[in-house]
Amino acid sequence: MRRAVCPGSFDPIHNGHLEVIARAAGLFDEVIVAVSTNYSKKYRFSLDERLEMAAETLASLRGIVIEPMGEGLLAEYCRQRGASAIVKGLRSSSDFDYEVPMATMNRQLTGVETIFLHAEARYAHLSSTMIKEVAGLGGDVSDYVPRAVQRRFAEAAGAAHD
Ligand code: PNS
């Protein structure tokens, strides 16, 4: 069983994430989408909401498991889950510069490898931060996020107008 972990905040999950997860699912028997919590970070969506949005969106893909990652070391989480690789998307050279030191540290900690999948050009500008800003200011993000996320943004906008 070749198992990989796709870690992230997924606050919220967007089409760039989906594309990388789907490609990872084609390379591994099982992909764990590990939704992180960092108590020093302020999230737009709760952990339960982030898990639900990922689960609703990825329900049709085979070989995907979605679970909370907890607060500990990613390398240790991978070791406990029997995952030999971390899969991450790379959008730009600044992603590369940011990710390679972490990949090196993770490998030195437990031997886990990191595999980078280049983002498709149409998704290379996407980030959860930008999507939250556009949606929060009333912009249309329907080309960038799955329905489960669109629905939550719409609910939040509706609640704001109540
Ligand atoms: O979507 P994000 O917020 O960029 O995801 C970041 C994540 C979860 C991949 C990163 O914060 C992480 O690896 N956290 C685990 C803590 C850890 O292992 N730190 C040492 C890394 S060398």
pTM above 0.75, yes or no: yes
pLDDT in tens, 81-131: 999 999 999 999 999 999 999 999 999 999 999 999 999 999 999 999 999
Active-site pick, 14, 17, 132, 152:
17
What range does the domain containing 73 cover? 3-161
Contact in structure between 87 and 5 (CB atoms under 8 Å): yes
Phi-psi region of 17 (alpha: psi -120 to 50; beta: other; left: phi over 0): alpha
Active-site pick, 36, 44, 50, 128:
128
32 contact partners, CB below 8 Å, separation of at least 6: 3, 4, 5, 6, 64, 65, 66, 67, 81, 83
Residues lining ligand 1, judged by CB closer than 6 Å?
A: 7-9, 36, 73-75, 102, 105-106
Active-site pick, 81, 91, 107, 118:
91
Q: Does residue 118 carry a catalytic annotation? A: no
Tell whether residue 61 is among the known ligand binding residues.
no
The ligand 1 atom nearest the CA atom of 105:
22
Query: At residue 45, does pLDDT exceed 90?
Result: yes
Q: Does residue 41 carry a catalytic annotation? A: yes
Q: Which of 5, 6, 9, 104 to mutate to test the pocket of ligand 1 (most atoms within 8 A of CB)?
A: 9
Tell whether residue 93 is among the known ligand binding residues.
no
pLDDT value of residue 39? 86
Overall number of domains in the chain: 1
φ/ψ of 156, rounded to 5, equals: -65, -40
pLDDT value of residue 48? 97
- CATH number (domain holding residue 43): 3.40.50.620
- Report strand pairing: 64-70 vs 30-36: parallel
Beta bridge partners of 150: none
Tell whether residue 18 is among the known ligand binding residues.
no
Q: Give the pLDDT band (50/70/90) at residue 161.
A: low
